[in-house]
Homo-oligomer: A and B are copies of this chain.
Amino acid sequence: MQEQINRQILLVKRPIGMPDESCFKVVTSSMPQTAFGQVMVRTQFISVDPYMRGRMNDRKSYVPPFQLNEVLNGGVVGDVLESKSGNFAKGDIVVGNLGWQDYSIAGENAVRKVDPDIAPVSTALGVMGMPGLTAYFGLLDVGHPQPNETVVVSGAAGAVGTIVGQIAKIHDCCVVGIAGSDKKTKYLIDELGFDAAINYRTSPDLKKALEEACPNGVDIYFDNVGGDISDAVLSLINNNARIPLCGQISLYNEKHIPVGPRIQPQLLTHSALMRGFLVRNYTDRFGEGTRQLGGWLKESKLKYAENVVDGLENAPKAFIGLFAGENLGKQLVKVR
């Protein structure tokens, strides 16, 4: 058997502002060993996610920061190459939070099986995984959409936004997406059935474009991006509006504390609710979420898009691309 090597991607420098490739390094190490109660997972797909930017800072947050000169980690789908756990057999497809590397060792409780008959296994990192569940719980549990309400979603063409808009359509809402290219807005309307979509990069007056797209005001604003885009949406909220805060990607690379118009007066006079949420707050309801998402997928009520970059060594580039809005749908790296 050929000598195997394990390529790994390390964080070697904490980014200040926008990350670049000098923050990352590809190294090789020897094959890891599988101990009792563990499995060796061969990486097939890596998930690159905006929230990882926060972990690159040396700052306490809801997840601990990445350590310098250690292997990055995030969502990974792979196949079990070796199992020393009674729960897994060689060849099982699993998903978990694992390293950005070819081979990972995982405790038997750190991964769960993926059923390849429901959908392609990569969806365990997208519509059937963390982004899908984020959309599901954020929209339904925080947003409580009602028929005929107007739902605006920013970052609408991303992994979460595409699912949010479709779930809102399933709930008979009027759905308006905000995204960063005409290709994306066309996709949202033509493929996903959004009622309207606005390209914020080319719109000369975002607030005016939103007013036209939302003649009845905004009842739910699912916020993935923050910043100026959110300011424009918030200026149009109706009484009793709900604002699930899912991400603030426009601010993640700010070097200073971002400043903007104070929003409390607007929330106050409209009896509006704004709520930050993390998908992991809903761990005990993941079963419900994946069953429902899988059901909609099977009924073709839910479509998904993936933006796949080839090669482990290109994971840093794919990550950096998130902040330029390069991805339509879920950004993945195909490792094998």
A-side residues, CB < 8 A to B, are 54, 61-62, 223, 226-227, 230, 239, 245-248, 251, 257-265, 267-278, 281
Contacts and interface: CB of A to CB of B under 8 A. Distances in A.
Copies of this chain, complex-wide, total 2
Nearest to A244: B268
Contacts of A272: 275-276
A264 B61 contact: no
Contacts of A260: 259-260, 262
Nearest to A60: B269
**Most chain B C-beta atoms within 10 Å of own C-beta, residue among A247, A257, A276:** A276
Given A230-B264, A261-B258, A262-B226, A275 B273 contact: yes
Given A226-B262, A257-B261, A260-B259, A276 B281 contact: no
A265 B247 CA distance: 8
A275 B278 CA distance: 18
B276 A275 contact: no
7 contacts: A61-B269, A226-B264, A227-B262, A248-B264, A257-B262, A259-B262, A271-B276
Contact of A268 (B247, B257, B268): B247
Given A264-B245, A265-B251, A278 B274 contact: no
B264 A223 contact: yes
Contact of A239 (B62, B227, B262, B269): B62
Contacts of A264: 223, 226, 230, 245, 248, 251, 263, 274, 276
A175 B270 CA distance: 28
B259 A245 contact: no
Contact of A226 (B257, B265, B270, B274): B265
A268 B245 contact: yes
B274 A273 contact: yes
